[in-house]
Structure 1
Amino acid sequence: MASTQTLIDLIKAELKSAGISYAQLATALDLSESSVKRMFAVGGEMPLSRIDEICRVVKTDFAELSQRLAQTQPLRRELTLQQEREVVADERLLLTAICCLSQWSFEQIVTTYRMSEADVTLMLAQLDRLGIIELRPLNRYRLQVAKTFRWRPQGPVMSFFREHVMQDFFAGGFDNDGELMLLVHGRLSPGMARELRDRLQRVAEDFARQHLVDQKLPEDEKRQYTLVMGMRSWLFERFKHLQRPPEVIRAMQR
């Protein structure tokens, strides 16, 4: 939710764009310039009625201002635990969320899956309530999550995927056109590990961008792909009994 200060900052920007000074605004509102400055100061108070008056001065309205305010809000990078629990509690809601994150249209979801228009409309309304999308007229929507959005690593959704999806995903051969599976192990400095992690994040963003570009292609020219990436400091549990204790390793390295 936007703060009062964010709204005031947006009104300041509107005044500047319109070339209206505090003195000119004070004249238009029949106030002293000092009163106007107090309204715009950090921690100042600006009643809704005054906002309406200022909107008339800058030739806009509160609805348009609210829309611009919404566009300035930071996009979500993850959901709360409770929000994820709600998503994963209904497989239709989880499926619709995944479709929305992949920028599927309402029509694509209804055509592809056994859900009625009423069902999908209900799911979209729930995703709007959870803050994942902003639902618009005619069941169009705008994503409210960032390109770097991810499910919480130890949250309900990833737990669901680990339990029910991972085995199915990795059971494939990864040998068809456009498929790849690699397992690479090595020792890196923490700094280099962070750099590689950031590169992988950019690969995921490239995947998402290309998906949006290819949305324009006919359906028979596209195939469903899923990209899964993971990187962690880790030793396979079944190898741990073969590992020397750290103090022995240090002694041998001297």
Structure 2
Amino acid sequence: MSTTADLVTALKKELKHAQMTYADLARAMGMAESSVKRMLAKGEMSLSRVDAICRALKLDFAELARKVADNQPLLAELTQAQERAVVANKKLLLVAICVLSQWTLEQITSAYRISQAEAIVCLAQLDRIGIIELRPLNRYRLKLAKTFRWRAHGPVMEFFRDEVLLDYYAGGFDGPGEGLLLVHGEVSRSLAPAFMERLQRVAQDFAQQHLADQKLPTSEREGYTLLLAMRSWEFAAFAALRR
């Protein structure tokens, strides 16, 4: 959540970008330079003062607020409560997955049986949950970091384990660009994290390519789901036979 300190920091950046000194700002606002310095140092100012600074900078307050929001730290994961809110409604979960892929409102409503009104309600809910910042014309800014992951034992992953995995593995994995690899082996414990890092890079490459290919016509794109996993595990039926 943004604070007054964030607002003051943004204003200082705008002053520097505009090459406007405190003396210049003081003259534009009809104040003493010392008063301007004290006001910005303490971060104590009324909305009318903020408006006056914006006018001096020829900056719209809405634009300033957007810049403050853009500078907020991105989330690497959600809380349990946030995830529970997402899985409470399947249409909301679907829209959440779509926004993770940076789909527009038009793409969501054209691909799924979700009305524009329903999709807008879902976007508003995702805004309240904290996944996106909803903007005018139903556009949004994703508030999740590139390293974002669903909680390992959280509500969303539990939903996918219970409802999605069997459906995913029911496929033949024999279509163009498809494949299923199952490799078992014993490797040094010290090397296992290195393999996991490689898998994470593959996932990042896939996600970046998805974003890059959004400029292509829909007819040239195909939806794929990449599932990568690695864990210390043995099939229970085999483990039961161990001596």
Fold agreement, TM-score > 0.5? yes
Matched, 1:197 2:199: no
Q: Secondary structure at the match of 1:226?
A: coil
Matched residues in 2 for 1:24 and 1:120: separation? 47
Unaligned runs of 5+ in 1: 245-254
Between the aligned residues of both structures, percent identity stands at 59
Q: Please give the alpha-carbon distance, in whole angstroms, between the structure 1 residues aligned to 2:195 and 2:149.
A: 18
Alignment RMSD: 2.4
- Other structure's SS at 2:12 match: helix
**Relative to structure 2, which stretch is displaced further, 49-58 or 139-148?**
139-148
One-letter amino acid matched to 1:172: G
2: CA distance, partners of 1:111 / 1:47 = 45
Shift of 1:130: 1.7
The CA distance in 2 between the partners of 1:139 and 1:9, in whole Å, is: 28
Instruction: Specify the alignment match of 1:23 in structure 2.
Output: 23
Q: 1:139 to 1:193 in 2, by over 3 A?
A: same
Change (3 A) 1:180 1:29: same
* Cα deviation digits, residues 97-132 of structure 1 (max 9, x gap): 112222233233223322222222222221222222
Equivalents in 2 of 1:36, 1:6: separation in Å? 17
Post-superposition Cα deviations, 1:193-245, rounded to whole Å, max 9, x if no partner, equal 3333333222212112222233333333332210111223444444445668x
Cα gap change, 1:28/1:109 in structure 2, threshold over 3 Å: closer, same or farther?
Answer: closer
2:50 is the counterpart of 1:67: no
Which TM-score applies when normalising by structure 2?
A: 0.86
Match of 1:188 in 2: 188
Instruction: Give the equivalent residue in structure 2 for 1:55.
Output: 54
Assess if the C-alpha contact under 8 Å between 2:127 and 2:134 holds in 1. Answer: yes
CA distance in 1, matches of 2:67, 2:153: 35
- Secondary structure (helix, strand or coil) at the match of 2:150 reads coil
Residue 7 (structure 1) shift: 1.4
Structure 1 residues 217 and 234: alpha-carbon distance in aligned structure 2, compared to 1, 3 A threshold:
same
- C-alpha change, 1:50 and 1:136, in structure 2 (3 Å) is closer
SS of the residue aligned with 1:153?
coil
Aligned to 1:159: 158
Task: Answer yes or no: is 1:209 the counterpart of 2:208.
Answer: yes
Q: Match of 1:8? A: 8
SS of 2:35's equivalent in the other structure is helix
Aligned counterparts of 2:33 and 2:103: Cα–Cα separation in 1: 51
Distance in 2, Cα, partners of 1:9 & 1:137: 24
Residues 1:106 and 1:21: Cα distance change in structure 2 (over 3 Å): closer
Q: How many residues align?
A: 242
Conservation of the 8 A alpha-carbon contact between 1:148 and 1:201: no
| 1:143 and 2:146 are equivalent in the alignment | no
Structure 2: unaligned runs, 5 residues or longer: none
> Matched residues in 1 for 2:76 and 2:206: separation?
17
